[in-house]
Structure 1
Amino acid sequence: MAKMKTISIAAKLDEKFKIEVNAGDHVMYIDQTKAGGGNDAGATPLEYFFASLAGCVGTVARIVANQKGITLNGMDIKVEGAFDIETLLGKSKESRAGFNGIKVTLNIDSGMSKEDKEAFVQEVESRCPVSDNIANTTPIVIEVV
């Protein structure tokens, strides 16, 4: 039987594009660049989205390594993707608003062979909730109160 854990955050849109996010004992700020009309008080939502994916991959990699007794000295994680800015700005409806694809590049510092690293990454990806939510349709309900 599944053992479910609920996660929640609270966020507040303030001046311009600045959003204060409370997540547990942590406060984060999301904003737009000055060129984009914000105050550059924090990373953009899309940068946080990629950071969330990188953070989840890194965390699950550490969990898997610890569970399997794999020496994982560290890992460099790069996440990138392209989206249609015209759709975001409401100037076009030709493309979807999201990324056309997301590429995660991992440089794993470990004594594992390339084949072992690939198997390791496959397990990490299969256990990463953020990756799973990106790859599979998850219903989103936006409710106005």
Structure 2
Amino acid sequence: MIADNGTVVASIGRDHYKTELTAGTHTLLADEHTGNGGTDSGPMPGDFMRMALASCTAITLRMYADRKKMDIERIDVTVNSERTDYKTVFKCEIKITGNITDEQRERMEDIAHKCPVHNVLSHPIEIDTWIAH
């Protein structure tokens, strides 16, 4: 289970569809592209989900590589997603720059599947939503 790292708040005013996101001391903007009526002042909501998977995968791999003292200069994770009638498929491409063996590359792929966001997205999710009074 993932530890609760806090609450995220999304606040939107009358600007279509600029939304301020707050997570602890960090503030980001989300928006829609101009073609969808937004101002394109930030990533779209689905982009944040892909960014969460990409960044969590990269961090998990870096932690593992550092712990195993692997000679890795850089890890790039690219995530795309496609929606079908029945599910969403996330496609995660990992490029590792450094001096590692084929066996280490295979192990890194196994480790990528262990990132906390990957685990959340690949298991059933329940969302409880309500309107506060």
CA distance in 1, matches of 2:10, 2:23: 9
Report what 2:12 is aligned to.
Answer: 13
Q: 1:103 aligns with which of 78, 87, 91?
A: 91
CA offset at residue 18 of structure 1? Answer: 1.4
| Greater mean deviation of Cα atoms: 54-63 or 68-77 | 68-77
Where in structure 1 do 4 or more consecutive aligned residues deviate above 4 Å?
A: none
Cα contact 1:17–1:38 (8 A) shared by 2: yes
Aligned residue type for 1:140? I
Shift of 1:17: 1.6
Q: Deviations over 1:85-119 (max 9, x none)?
A: xxxxxxxxxx35x62x1110011012112231121
Most deviating of 6-15 and 30-39: 6-15
Q: Tell me the residue number matched to 2:58.
A: 58
CA drift of 1:3 comes to 8.8
Partners of 2:70 and 2:4 lie apart in 1 by 27
CA distance in 1, matches of 2:34, 2:4: 38
Partner of 1:82: 82
Letter in 1 for 2:92: V
Q: For 2:94, what is the secondary structure of its paired residue?
A: strand
| Counterpart in the other structure of 1:89 | none
Aligned partner of 1:136 in structure 2 is 123
3-state SS of paired residue (2:48): helix
Deviation at 1:40, TM superposition (A): 0.5
How many angstroms apart in 2 are the aligned matches of 1:37 and 1:5? 34
CA contact (8 A) 1:18 1:32 kept: yes
State whether residues 12 and 18 of structure 2, in contact with CA within 8 Å, keep that contact through their aligned partners in structure 1.
yes
Deviation of the 1:144 alpha carbon? 1.7
**Matching residue's letter, 2:82:** A
Higher strand share: 2
Give distance in 2, aligned partners of 1:61 and 1:108. Answer: 10
Q: Which residue of 2 aligns with 1:35?
A: 35
Question: Structure 1 regions of 5+ residues with no counterpart?
Answer: 85-94
Q: Matches of 2:63 and 2:33 in 1, distance apart?
A: 35
Identity %: 21
How many correspondences in the alignment?
131
So what's the TM-score if we normalise by structure 1? 0.81
Taking the aligned partners of 2:46 and 2:56, their CA distance within structure 1 comes to 15
Kept in 2, the 8 Å contact 1:32–1:44? The answer is: yes
